[in-house]
């Protein structure tokens, strides 16, 4: 059996959640890798949309940013950013938003703005970009995140992108009609929100991962499903596709010639 890293397991487990019918608003980084692995394996007809206005993009390498020319060059079309947000996103035409996070709490609220006090921060982060609108306007939200107590926290320092707020029916009370976060995939486990409380619950552990490992890297008291499963390991095709994509990306961004 081919060996794999925790990050590879996370990316492939996330890719498996996508289908041909999805219209996916893609974040840069791990979400982009997962979405493109899905496109290159089991979901060739998935529609990938990036914040810069590219629709139906099929990049050969992973973009450095939403403004990467690779996205526009391979897109079916490119629209103005106001049209992207007003017509496509806020018009309810995007089924899944795929986001990352600097900080995340148990209810799927995301911080990508600041660590520490807003006026005297320890770290100033890149900010929300389009993520706040994605979090409220896409049909549902998938999140990828590497587990660590500094990133999975009991209380985030700043609300950049709204998840389930305080839990329960908080989204509905605010008038939000979309589902919000329905899936969290980390390098250790697959999590889904409890139907009533909306708190993330571990549904599946990746191979070799224990409950203690999950708890030690999480800043809140973790809940585990009664019917806890083991995540199927990556196939040779999935690993090969991901590694080839990453190799092409490294070569392109380093300015070296890609293999024919």
DSSP 235: P
- 10 Å Cβ neighbour count for 163? 28
For residues 122 and 173, what is the distance between their CA atoms, to the nearest angstrom?
33
Annotated catalytic, 51?
yes
Separation of alpha carbons 206 and 148, rounded Å? 16
In a 3-state reduction of DSSP, which class is residue 40?
Answer: helix
The H-assigned helical ranges of the chain are 6-15, 30-40, 69-74, 81-83, 131-137, 170-173, 211-216, 236-253
CA–CA gap between residue 249 and residue 260 (Å, rounded): 14
Distance CA 229, CA 190 (A): 9
Cβ-based neighbours of 175, under 8 Å, separated by 6 or more: none
From the candidates 8, 51, 70, 133, which is the catalytic residue?
A: 51
CA atoms within 13 A on the CB side of 50: 30
Give catalytic residues, as residue numbers.
51
């Amino acid at each position: 059996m081919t060996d794999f890293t925790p990050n590879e397991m996370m990316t492939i487990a996330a890719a498996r959640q996508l289908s041909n019918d999805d219209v996916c608003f893609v974040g840069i980084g791990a979400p982009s890798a997962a979405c493109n692995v899905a496109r290159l394996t089991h979901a060739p007809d998935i529609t990938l949309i990036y914040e810069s206005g590219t629709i139906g993009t099929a990049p050969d390498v992973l973009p450095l940013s939403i403004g990467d020319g690779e996205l526009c060059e391979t897109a079916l079309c490119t629209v103005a950013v106001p049209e992207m947000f007003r017509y496509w996103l806020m018009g309810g035409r995007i089924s899944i938003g795929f986001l990352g996070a600097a900080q995340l709490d148990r209810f799927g609220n995301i911080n990508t703005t600041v660590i520490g006090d807003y006026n005297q921060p320890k770290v100033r982060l890149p900010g929300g970009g389009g993520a706040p609108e994605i979090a409220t306007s896409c049909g549902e939200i998938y999140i990828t995140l590497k587990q660590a107590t500094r990133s999975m926290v009991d209380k985030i320092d700043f609300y950049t992108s709204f998840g389930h707020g305080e839990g329960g029916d908080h989204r509905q009370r605010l008038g939000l009609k979309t589902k919000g976060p329905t899936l969290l995939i980390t390098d250790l486990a697959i999590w889904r929100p409890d139907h009533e409380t909306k708190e993330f619950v571990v549904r599946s552990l990746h191979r070799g991962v224990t409950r203690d490992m999950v708890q030690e890297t999480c800043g809140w008291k973790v809940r585990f499903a009664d019917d806890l499963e083991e995540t199927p390991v990556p196939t040779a095709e999935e690993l090969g596709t991901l590694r080839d994509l990453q190799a092409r990306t490294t070569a392109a961004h380093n300015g070296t010639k890609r293999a024919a």
